[in-house]
Amino acid sequence: MSSSTSVFEAIKNYMAKNYGKSHGKMLIHTGVIGWILSAAAQVGAIVTNDKISHKQKMYLIPQELADAAVNIVSFYLITQSFKSVVTKAVNCGKILNKPVREFLETNNVKNVGKKTFDVLRDGKLPKDLVDKFESFRNGVDFTGTTLGSILSCNIVTPIIRNEIATNKQKKHIAKMEEYNISVVDPAKNCYLPRPSIQSFQANAYKSSSSLKI
C-alpha cells in the first residue's frame, strides 16, 4: 500500500515538475504515444473491413503504418523545432509583449535577446509582470506548437505517407502478378513436357488404326 502510494506521489510530482509550466512539451509527448496506439487500432480496422478490397488494403495498411511513423519523425523534427525556437525566442527576450519590453528598456536591462539571457531569471520582473509574461509565453508556446503540428501532421505527413504507401502497393501488386504468372506459366510449372511436332506425330502414329489415308 505504502509503495503504491509513493509511486502515485512520484508520478504526481513528476507531472508537476516537468509539465507544470509547459503546454508544448506535454502536447509533443502525448501526441507521439497517441499515434502509435491509434495506428495499431486503425490497422486492425482495415484488416477486418470486408468492404475494402485486397488491392485497396495493400495501399491503406502501409498508408496507416507510414502515417504513424512519419508523424512521429516529422513531429519531432518540425513541431519540436517550432516549439524550441518559439520558446527560446520568448525566454531570451527576442519576442516579448509590450509591458515586459517596456519594463526591460526602462530599467536598462542589458543583453535582452542574447541567447544566454533569461527574462524570468535576469529581467527581475515584478510579480504582476511575471504573470503577464507567463501567460504570454503559454499563448505563444501553444500557438507555435499548434502551427508546427498543422504543418507536420496535416501537410508534410500525408504527402510522404502517400508516397510510401503507393510504392508499397506497387511492390505488392508486382509480387502478386509475378506469383500468378509463375503459377500458370506452363514453361515453369508444367508437369507434362511441352508436345513437339515429332512427339505429336509419334503419338498419333502409335495410337492410330491401320487405316491410312
Partner 1 sequence: MSRISGINLIGQMSSSVTDSVVSVMPKTTISGKNTLKAIDWIGDKFSSPENRLILGVTALMTQPFIDARNKKVDEETRKVSVARTVAKIIAGTLTGYFVRAGCIKMIDAMTQLPSKVDPKTFGGRMRMLFTPEDAKTGVLQDLKMYKNALGTTISLFVMLFTNFLIDAPLTKYLTNLFTDKYVHKQKTDKGGTVNE
In the complex, minimum distance from the CB of residue 51 to partner 1, in angstroms, rounded to a whole number = 5
State which residue, 124 or 170, has the beta carbon closest to partner 1.
170
Backbone φ and ψ for 51, nearest 5 degrees, come out as -80, -10
Q: Which three cell numbers stand for residue 190?
A: 508444367
In the region spanning residues 29 to 58, those forming contacts with partner 1, defined by CB under 8 A, are 30, 33-34, 37-38, 40-42, 44-46, 48-53, 55-56
Buried b (16+ CB within 10 A) or exposed e, 151-171: ebbeebbeebbbebbeebbee
Task: Candidates 7, 13, 177, 199: give the one binding partner 1 (CB under 8 A).
Answer: 13
Contact present, 157 and 71 (Cβ < 8 Å): yes
Cβ proximity of 74 and 157 under 8 Å = yes
Indicate whether 101 belongs to the interface with partner 1 (CB under 8 A).
Answer: yes
Residues 121-180 that bind partner 1 (CB under 8 A): 132, 135-143, 145-146, 149-150, 153-155, 158-159, 162, 166, 169
Single out the segment in contact with partner 1 by CB under 8 A; choices: 81-89, 118-126, 175-183, 189-197.
Answer: 81-89
Please, what is the minimum distance in Å from the beta carbon of residue 114 to partner 1? Answer: 8
Lookup result for grid cell 486492425: 44
What residue type is assigned to position 169 of the chain? Q
d(CA 208, CA 199): 14
Task: Provide the terminal-to-terminal Cα distance of the chain, rounded to the nearest Å.
Answer: 105
* Residue 65 CB, nearest approach to partner 1 (Å): 14
Angle at 128 between CA 127 and CA 130, to 5 degrees: 65
Instruction: Pick out residues in 177-206 that bind partner 1 (CB under 8 A).
Output: none
Return the range that interacts with partner 1 (CB under 8 A); candidates 7-15, 118-126, 174-182, 184-192: 7-15
Closer residue to partner 1, CB minimum distance, 15 or 181? 15
DSSP assignment of 78-94, as one string?
A: IIHHHHHHHHHHHHTTS
Which residue from 68, 70, 78, 93 is in contact with partner 1, where contact means CB under 8 A? 93
Question: Minimum distance between the CB of residue 7 and partner 1, rounded to whole angstroms?
Answer: 14
CB of 206 to partner 1, least distance (A): 50
